[in-house]
Every structure is written in C-alpha cells, then in structure tokens.
Amino acid sequence: MNDAALAPPRRVTLFCGHYGSGKTNIAVNYALWIRSLGYRVNIADLDIVNPYFRTKDSAARLDAAGVRLISSAYANTNVDFPALPTEMYAVTDDTDAYAVLDIGGDDRGALALGRYAPAILAEGRYEMLFVVNRFRPLTRTVPDALAVLREIEAAGGIRATGIVNNTNLGEETTAEDVLASLPFAEALSRESGLPVRMTAVREDLAPALAGSVGPLFPIVLEHKYTWK
Amino acid sequence: MAEKVLMKGNEAIAEAAILAGCRHYFGYPITPQTEVAAYMAKRMPKIGGTFLQAESELAAINMVIGVASTGKRAMTSSSSPGISLKCEGLSYLAGCDLPALVVNVERGGPGLGGIQPSQSDYFQATRGSGHGDFHMIVLAPASVQEMAALTMKGFDLADKYRMTSMILADGTMGQMMEPVVLEAPEPVVYEKPWALTGTDGKRPHNIVNSLYLVPEDLERTNFARYERYRTVEENEAAAESFMTEDADIVVVAFGIAARVSKNAILAAREKGIRVGLIRPITLWPFPKAVIAGAASHAKRFISVELSMGQMIEDVRLAMDCARPVTLVNRAGGMIPSPDEVLAAIETAQGGLKA
C-alpha cells in the first residue's frame, strides 16, 4: 500500500509538531509500517500535554501487531500528571529495535524530549520529522510554521531533519485539499532547508494521490469516539 | 468567504472571541480548557491585544470585571474547579450589570474530580454560579463550529442585556477537532453610557458598583434586573428540534450528549420508532416552550446527560411534569453510548404499547 519511494526507516524516528497536527496518528501508523517490514519496534508516547487523544488509544492495534507501546501509566486516566515511565529508556537502550517517538505538541510538549536527546544524538541514527497541517490556523503560513518548528527544536534539544506534510481536514479531507497544500510544503521545505520526507494521507485518498505528491504515507485513523 | 480550517473546540472559542472584538483575555491553565489560554497567548500579542495569565482564577475573573467596567469586551475561561473559584466574581459581574464572556469546559466532579468530560456543572451554571439573585445566559455548543458561533453570540447577548454569557461545553467539545469556517461577524455597536471611559470633565462620573447601603435601593435593582431577565427569557431561548414533528418519544440532550443521541435516534427510526431530539442551545433561558410544545404529542421524554441528572429537572418543569421523563446518564468523565440511549428509547417504546 505504501508508495515505493518512501525511504527506509532510521533506527529512531521522532514526530514533533504543533499540537493537533496529527503526530500521534502518524507515529502509530509509522510504527505499524516498520513492524510490517518485519522489524521489532517500540513506540513511545512522550506527550505529557494532551489529556484526551493519546498513543494509548491505539493500544489494541499496536498490541495485535506486536508493537511494544511505552506510555505513561496515567495516560487516559483522570490523573493529570506529566510523568514518564522509566521504561522509556528502552527507546535509547534497546538499540536492536526500531523506535518511534510521539512528541507532545509545540515547545511545551517537546520539553520532555530533552531528557532523551543526548542519547539519541550520541547514537546518531535518528530522524526528527516535523508534522505540519496547513489547515491548522497557527501553522497556516510558512513563517508561522517555521516559528513553531524553531521553538520545538529549542525546547527538545534536537533539530528536525525532515517534514511530514499532513495537511487535512479530518473526515472532510479531499485529494484536492492535499494537492493544494503541495506549494506550501515546498515553500516550508525551501525556507527550512529540510526535505519533505513524506505526505501523509487518509488511506482511502491514497490511490487518487499516488504518483503526484512524492513519497506518500497512507494512514488509518484511530476513532476514539464511535458516533458522529 | 474565509477558508476552512481544522480546529480544536478550545481554539475555535479563542479565535471566535478575537473575531468578535475581544482584546482582553485573562486566564489560568486547567485541563481540558488549556488550549483557549494557549491560543490566546500566541495570538493576542500579534494583534495588540492582552493575554494575561493571572496568578489564580480569582485574579482572572476580577481582571475581567475591571475591563468589562470600561465597556471593552473581556473574557476568561476555565474548567469546573476553576469556575467554582470564579463564582464570587460572577456574582459581582451580575451585581454590577457588566457584560462579559466566561467559558467553562467541564470536567468530572465534584471536588478536584477528574480531567475527562462532564456536564455536571449544569446546576451551577443555570442556578448557582455565585451568591444572590441572578442569572447568566448559558450557551451549550454541540460542534466546533458552534463553539465559535456561540462565542460570538455570547458577546453580543452580553452587551445587549448587560449580563455575563457563559459557554458551557464539556471536555470533548473543547478537545475534539473538526473543520470550521470562521468569519468576523457584522459589527454591531452597543451603546454603553454606563462605562468607565473617563469623563473629560464633561459629564458626571459613572460608578460601577454592586454594594447598596439602602435595602430599598437593592430591592429595586433586583426587581429591575429580573424584568430584564424576563425579556431575555422571552426573546433568546433557543433549541434545535430534530425529527420531533411526529415523535411519540422525545430525547432531550445538549452538547456532546445530543450528538450521541442523534445516532441512537437514527437507529431507532430504522426500527420504526417515532422518536426525536430537542437540543437546548440555551440552557438559561431554557427553551421551555419547545419542550411544552412537544409534550402536546409526545408521550415519553428521555433526558440524556453526562451528570447524575440535572437538566432533567428543567425538562420536567418546562411541561409541568405532564409526561414521564427518564434519565440516561453517565458521570465522572464517562460518555453515554448510542446503544445505551437506544436501549432507553426501546424501553420507552415498550411502555407506550403497555
């Protein structure tokens, strides 16, 4: 299903970005993709900011696929406690497995990354991907998106190495919406000097976009609430 | 036309407030409302507005009182425990007849409760948001688009009636993301001859005050205020009616509970059950006439709530207890499922046949 042009994963992949840009859904799908290639993979929820929509919402899917989920014991509970488990060190210590990190939103969310950044940088086999959705009002322009990116890098202690264009309007997204976002993604790429590593799209839109948006990453969305 | 964007409910409130001309936001972070403050922190400095993180909820509401006294649009937002702290200020706003917008993105309670969604501040918002005789206009959005629309409307109603408008949303409304189109409303000028804008030595001082030393005067202001409340009740009660025309059973639900209920109603209709939904958009004034009208043909009512059953009292009162009302509820941060609502509808249908 994935576009052949999608580059192989690095040992550690970090997804960062403005909150609500889709980091968690992409991180979950990316971990499942690595697993589907036959590799062992850990996915870590470093989000200590978002109270409602978490990597843990996908626990059943991840577990069924054999992806190890490392998440706060308090995620999805009533405890509003920004703590990370010691297990989180598996991300940097278990170097035989791939690791996917879901970083919390904005610079506030990226602050927790600072604890693990030295080890990730020392190992040097990572990529940090900045997830951006042009339909998010605070990252609608290239300067605004760049400003958010720089704040995240400063807070997390790691510079981004690529961009994930995740432009979407949720269920209402059309292939045209994605195509219309390409100039924005290219301009952001030019201004930041970072390549557009992939364009993430809802799985059902992938056939219409294959071949016209560069490396394509189809994702299956987690539906926490079953009603409309 | 403005472009469609993807927003969290909390962000939609913040941007809508800015579009409605609010340039003064005072807040204090609390889950699940924090994005209102976070968004204001980013946007207000860029447009010459004031974002101020106060040292406490009490400080924030008192800052709102200060700005509202000058006739400027001011707002604060919080979640349940934080709103309890603001209640003293809400009473003072009412006593001073000041327009303001207050947002409550509710979480489970009582006490510190939890961080998951709830509607259990209904009584507080519609009856007891501070000491003394007063009301707030309470608006209950059921989508991200409506979070924005009711924020704008809330400012207008506040200015029109010199009252506090409250957006009463649950945590899912604040956290969920949906596509929205945000456009600045047509500006309406509200004359505010009472505002503290400086006299320039040309007029007597205005005084904004809630202290009355003479009981006769205080009684007079209370009676006059309640005359104004009667006008609000006559003119501003709003509700959405969905499939109610032929309904034998009427579900009453607001906010997220209404969206859950719509799913259940569509499923029940497929089974041939004549059921509809009344979704109050204003919780105060409560859309009594709509409920009473439905009671002329509907035999059973069901109140669906994320609380131990609070709005159900208003449903009963609106029709003088003419029809039985049952409660479908979850509490403490849980949300009723469409299946739970459907089961109650089927039970009510069974009662009709008996």
The 10s digit of each residue's pLDDT in A151-208 is 999 999 999 999 999 999 998 999 999 999 999 999 999 999 999 999 999 999 999 9
Confidence of residue A225 (pLDDT cuts 50, 70, 90): confident
User: Which chain B residues have a beta carbon less than 8 Å from that of A227?
Assistant: 259-260, 262-263, 338
Q: What confidence tier does B267 reach under pLDDT thresholds 50, 70, 90? A: very high
CATH of domain A12-219: 3.40.50.300
Q: Which residues of B touch A168 (CB under 8 A)?
A: 6
With cut-offs at 50, 70 and 90, classify the pLDDT of residue B251: very high
CB-CB under 8 Å, B39 with A20: no
* Tally of CA atoms within 13 A in the half-sphere of B230 that contains its CB: 6
Residues A200 and A22: beta-carbon distance below 8 Å: yes
Residue A77 confidence (pLDDT):
74
Mean pLDDT for the stretch of residues A136-150: 95
Q: Is B183 left (phi over 0), alpha (psi -120 to 50) or beta?
A: beta
Give pLDDT, residue A1.
42
Residues B281, B83, B11: CA angle, nearest 5 degrees: 60
Q: Which two tokens stand for residue B202?
A: 């040309």
Domain B4-236 has CATH 1.10.357.10: no
A35 touches chain B (CB under 8 A): no
Q: Where are the domains of chain B?
A: 4-236, 240-353
pLDDT digits over A48-81, tens only?
A: 777 778 888 999 999 999 999 999 877 777 777 7
Minimal-distance CA residue of chain A relative to B9: A20
Amino acid residing at A48? I
B-chain residues near A106 (CB < 8 A):
38
Contact B117, A76 (CB under 8 A): no
Measure CB to CB from residue B8 to each of A20, A78, A225 and give the nearest one: A20
**How confident is the model over B45-99, as pLDDT tens digits?**
999 999 999 999 999 999 999 999 999 999 999 999 999 999 999 999 999 999 9
Q: Do residue A52 and residue B171 have CB atoms under 8 angstroms apart?
A: yes
As given in the structure block, the two tokens for residue A161 are 């190495």
- Residue A53: per-residue pLDDT: 81
The answer to whether B91 and B128 have CB atoms below 8 angstroms apart is no
Nearest to B343 by CA among B328, B324, B322, B333: B328
Pick the CATH number of B240-353 from 3.40.50.2300, 3.30.450.90, 1.10.1380.10, 3.40.50.920: 3.40.50.920
User: Using CA atoms, how far apart are residues A110 and A96, in angstroms rounded to an integer?
Assistant: 25
CA distance A80 to A59: 20
Chain A residues in contact with B335 (beta carbon < 8 A): 225
Number of A/B CB contacts below 8 angstroms equals 69
Q: Where are the beta strands (DSSP E) in chain B?
A: 4-8, 24-27, 50-53, 74-78, 100-106, 137-139, 164-170, 177-181, 239-242, 249-252, 275-280, 282-284, 300-305, 325-329
Q: DSSP letters along chain A, please?
A: ---TTSPPPPSEEEEEESTTSSHHHHHHHHHHHHHHTT--EEEEE---S-SSS-GGGGHHHHHHHTPEEE--TTTTSS-------GGGGHHHH-TTSEEEEEPPSHHHHHGGGGGTHHHHHHH--EEEEEEE-TTSGGGSSHHHHHHHHHHHHHHHS----EEEE---BTBT--HHHHHHTHHHHHHHHHHHT--EEEEEEEGGGHHHHTTTSSSEEEEPPP-S----
A chain contacts of residue B114, beta-carbon cutoff 8 Å: 78
- Nearest 5 degrees, angle CA A160-CA A163-CA A168? 135
Q: How many CA atoms lie within 13 A of B216 on its CB side?
A: 0
The pLDDT of residue B126 is above 50: yes
Do B4-236 and B240-353 show the same overall fold?
A: yes
Q: Which of A51, A140, A169 is nearest residue B32 as measured by Cβ atoms? A: A51
End-to-end CA distance of chain B: 54
Report pLDDT digits (tens) over B310-340. Answer: 999 999 999 999 999 999 999 999 999 999 9
What is the distance between the alpha carbons of residues B253 and B232, in angstroms, rounded to a whole number?
22
Q: Is A223 on the interface with B (CB under 8 A)?
A: no
> For residue B15, what is the nearest residue in chain A, using CA coordinates?
A137
Q: A116: closest CA among A86, A151, A146, A96?
A: A86
Cβ-nearest to B42 among A20, A51, A138: A138
Say what the pTM is.
0.94
Could you write out the DSSP letters of every residue in B272-319?
T--EEEEEESEEES--HHHHHHHTTT--EEEEEESSSSSHHHHHHHHT
Q: Which residues pair with B52 in a beta bridge?
A: B26
The CB density around residue B56, as the number of other CB atoms within 10 Å, is 12
